[in-house]
Amino acid sequence: MLKKISLGLLGLVIGLAVVGFLLPRQVHVERSLTMQAPPEAVYEQINTLRNWEGWSPWHKIDPQMKLSYAGPASGVGASYSWLSNHSQVGNGTLRIKQAVPNQRIDTEMDFDGQGLGYSTYFFVPEGQATKVTWTMDSDMGLNPAARYMGLFMDGLVGDDFERGLHNLQQVVESKPAAVVR
């Protein structure tokens, strides 16, 4: 009986591992929101990393996180690192890798040695408003457990993206330059 249970558990583990290797390696999360502000106003909020304290969903989760900034204040090469004891925030570094004024910003995030994630912010004018799209792409590698986690990534960070976009909307729409006439 014990031998049958052991063989059954071994078969289950092997089966789960095989299925894990067949799961998608690449993960993509995307959210969009239209804001009543010109692209340059939204772009500036994201391109200047110190502004993130006013809209980032993770800054609101842990206002006590320790931040340190490096490089230029904005644009390519700007970066910041954070330290947080909160399980939803953790530790890491974010770097702006590419910035096309008023069109897109590409960032790279290092989650304290747990892997890299890449986010892109797109700014598309819609009349006097701007549609902002926030994406994240990550490679889950060859680890079957990470690939299983990838199945849940949209649910894990999608709500945070939505909160962040709504926070950003409040910030940019409250600025006098964002008032659309």
pLDDT at 177: 59
- Which tens digit of pLDDT belongs to each residue from 115-173? 788 999 999 999 999 999 999 888 777 777 777 777 777 877 889 999 999 999 999 99
Q: Which has more pLDDT, 160 or 15? A: 160
Mean pLDDT of 38-53: 95
pLDDT at 157: 81
pLDDT band at 32 (very low <50, low <70, confident <90, very high): very high
- Round the average pLDDT of the chain to a whole number and report it: 87
pLDDT band at 179 (very low <50, low <70, confident <90, very high): very low
pTM exceeding the 0.95 threshold for the entire prediction: no
Residue with tokens 């890299």: 116
- Which tens digit of pLDDT belongs to each residue from 76-105? 999 999 999 888 788 999 999 999 999 999
With a cut of 60, say whether residue 180 has pLDDT above it. no
Percentage above 70 pLDDT, the chain: 93
Tell the burial category of 56 from Cβ atoms under 10 Å away from its Cβ (0-12, 13-18, 19+): buried
